[in-house]
Each structure stands twice: as C-alpha cells, then as structure tokens.
C-alpha cells in the first residue's frame, strides 16, 4: 500500500462509487485530481493532509486505522425499476488481531476489520446488504434506524450461509449496526459492529470527515475490558497522530460500542465542539468539550482548531484512556 495517506484514501473508494453518490453529499472530500468533472469548488476546498514522511501501514494488522478513519463504503450502485440501490458485500470472519506487542486477540469481524465498514447512503435510497457468514458461529447484522421486521437482523445466520438485508435508508443520521445473536455482549465485544451513515437529502456543509468508533476488548472472557481502542487498535492515534489542517472544519462521526462499561465520555483538549445528537439534526443543539455516551450512543461533532500543535482526545474515564483509548490531532498550519 502506498504510504502517502491522501493517495491511500483515494485508492480505497472507486470512481464509480463516488459518482453514484453524487456531489450533493458533504462526504465527498476526494481531491479534484481524481474527479475533476464531478466535484464542485466547495468540495475542492476541503484538503486532507498527507501523513508524515516515513509512515507505513502497519504490517501486523489486517487493516490500517489511518485509512479506516476517513474511509466510507458507498457500495455498488444499481438502478432497479427506476430506484437507486446501493449493494454492499459483507463477510463475517474470525481472525487474529494484534492489540499490542504481547496480546493477540481472536476477533470476530466484518470484512477483516474492527470496526466493520462504514456504509453510507442518502436518505431514501435502497440499501442491500449481502451478508456471508464465514465466522464459524451463527451471526447476524442488526441495523439501527427504520426498517421492516423481517430485516431486523435478530435471526441467526448459520456458518456458511448468506442473508440479504434490504431496506430504505431512513431516517437520516448516524446508525450503528452489530451482531444480535446471544450473548450479544460477546458478539459485539469480539468486533462485530460498525456504522451506517445516512446523509440528509440536502447534504451537509463540506468538512474533513472522519469516523471514530470506541471499542473494548475482554481479553480474559471475564465480562471486563482489559484494553480499549478508537477504531480497533489500542493507542494507534496516540502513536500516530491524526493530521488535520488549522481552521478547517472537522466533522467527526463518533460511536460508542464499548460493552461491559455503562457509559464513557469523549473529550478534546483546548477546544470546543458543536453537537448534533444521533446525527439527526442539521443545526447544533449544544456546545461542549466533553460528551457522555452509553453503549450504541452516537453523535456528529463539528470543530476546528485555531492554533497549530498536537492536541489530545480521550474519554475522561482516565483508566479507559490509559488502556488504549487515547489519541492526538496533529494540527498543521496553513
């Protein structure tokens, strides 16, 4: 994989997927060099920094948390009877995940990553999830949001079987998905979770968009988390700060999927953020520098940094932060 981060991101999303989504969404932050005919000047104004020279994707992990951070899966676009359909392929697997230099965790995952893919569609579009279970156990995919009962994802899909979940993307907002097979806490804590972002028809203002999912790891199967992480790997963004540009709007899709802890907070240093609860509003409802979330609670947070430098973010349950749920934004001057 090319170590230049901006190129990594662009290579991860196909031209067909981007054009299928359309320029109305605030999510299209891809450089104009790839899609000049279809990207507006407003979207060209958003820049994604490259990672520092010498950064290489982690060979010990099946995925790169830096790519995962800004990667959105728009599916394969089809038109059926005049309606746009976004089709996604998802495979449940079981594979080792190197959490640190001494601990290897056997994850249950979707498409070889924890969290799973960040699916994205516009409100009203049809979504089709083709779910293949190769995980060795019965699993399912339960989506938050609105859908018919037969698409609710509580029925077990046995190993080796396939299930097609199909429903309209509604309402707009940020919706978690996860396995719903008992014991649900175990299936979630092993890694079977992710995000579905449903954009409002009118889109949102352009921003540097990124996804952070907070997760815990019960290493000893004692219903307690020994390690925690943003986007799957403990301390990754502490050791590899996230580059952002000074005075540029950041839109953070934040989800708490930590089991066994009743609630956690999210705090950024030396700044304030605007809060869009569950992503269900187009206007901020509050401003803070810390927010509390129960399991499966999620929000959109918007902020920008006035001054260059490296600024920490973490839960204010400091024991959780010190066991892996910690990172930095590296604010680059413009």
Whether residue 34 is predicted with pLDDT greater than 50 in this model: the reply is no
Counting the structural domains of the chain, the total is: 1
* CB count in 10 Å sphere of residue 216: 26
Whether 32 maps to a domain, the answer reads no
HSE-up of residue 311 (Cα within 13 Å, Cβ side): 21
Whether residue 50 is predicted with pLDDT greater than 80 in this model: the reply is yes
Q: What is the pLDDT of residue 16?
A: 35
Tens of pLDDT, residues 87-120: 999 999 999 999 999 999 999 999 999 999 999 9
The domain of 327 spans 65-332
- The rounded Cα 179 to chain-centroid distance in angstroms is 16
Q: What is the pLDDT of residue 64?
A: 96
Annotated binding site for Cu cation: 139, 144, 178-179, 187
Query: What's the rounded mean pLDDT across residues 234-263?
Result: 98
Whether 54 maps to a domain, the answer reads no
Longest dimension (CA), the chain: 55
Q: How far apart are CA 291 and CA 275, in angstroms?
A: 9
Q: How far apart are CA 57 and CA 200, in angstroms?
A: 33
Query: What's the rounded mean pLDDT across residues 18-33?
Result: 39
Whether 19 maps to a domain, the answer reads no
Query: Is 28 in a helix, a strand, or coil?
Result: coil
Tens of pLDDT, residues 148-158: 999 999 999 99
Whether 22 maps to a domain, the answer reads no
Whether 131 maps to a domain, the answer reads yes
Whether 25 maps to a domain, the answer reads no
Name the pTM for this structure.
Answer: 0.88
Annotated binding site: 139, 144, 178-179, 187
Whether residue 211 is predicted with pLDDT greater than 60 in this model: the reply is yes
Whether 24 maps to a domain, the answer reads no
CATH number at residue 88: 2.60.40.420
Whether 320 maps to a domain, the answer reads yes
Q: What tokens were used for 40?
A: 């507006």
Q: Which of 25, 316, 48 is nearest to 208 (CA)?
A: 48
Q: What is the pLDDT of residue 329?
A: 99
Tens of pLDDT, residues 153-198: 999 999 999 999 999 999 999 999 999 999 999 999 999 999 999 9
């Amino acid at each position: 994989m090319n170590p230049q981060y901006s190129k990594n991101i662009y290579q991860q999303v196909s031209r067909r997927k981007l054009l299928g989504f359309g320029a109305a969404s605030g999510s299209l932050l891809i450089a104009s060099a790839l899609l000049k005919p279809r990207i507006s000047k407003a979207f060209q104004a958003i820049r994604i920094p490259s990672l520092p020279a010498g950064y290489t994707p982690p060979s010990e992990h099946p995925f790169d948390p830096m790519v995962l951070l800004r990667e959105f899966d728009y599916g394969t676009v089809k038109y059926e009877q005049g309606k746009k359909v976004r089709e996604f392929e998802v495979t449940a697997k079981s594979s080792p995940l190197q959490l640190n230099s001494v601990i290897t965790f056997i994850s249950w995952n979707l498409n070889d990553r924890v969290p799973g893919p960040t699916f994205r569609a516009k409100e009203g579009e049809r979504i089709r999830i083709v779910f293949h279970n190769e995980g060795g156990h019965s699993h399912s995919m339960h989506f938050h949001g609105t859908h018919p009962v037969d698409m609710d994802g509580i029925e077990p899909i046995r190993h080796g079987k396939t299930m097609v979940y199909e429903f309209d993307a509604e309402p707009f907002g940020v919706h978690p998905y996860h396995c719903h097979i008992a014991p649900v806490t175990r299936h979630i804590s092993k890694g079977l979770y992710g995000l579905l972002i449903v954009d409002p028809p009118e889109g949102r203002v352009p921003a540097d968009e990124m996804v952070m999912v907070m997760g815990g790891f019960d290493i000893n199967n004692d219903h307690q988390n020994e390690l925690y992480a943003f986007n799957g790997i403990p301390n990754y963004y502490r050791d590899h700060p996230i580059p952002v540009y000074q005075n540029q709007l950041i839109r953070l899709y934040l989800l708490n999927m930590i089991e066994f802890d009743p609630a956690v907070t999210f705090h950024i240093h030396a700044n304030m953020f605007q809060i869009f609860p569950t992503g269900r509003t187009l206007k901020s409802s509050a401003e803070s520098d810390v927010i509390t979330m129960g399991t499966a609670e999620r929000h959109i947070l918007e902020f920008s940094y006035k001054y260059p430098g490296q600024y920490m973010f973490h839960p204010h349950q400091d024991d959780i932060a010190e066991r892996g749920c910690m990172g930095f934004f590296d604010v680059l001057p413009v």
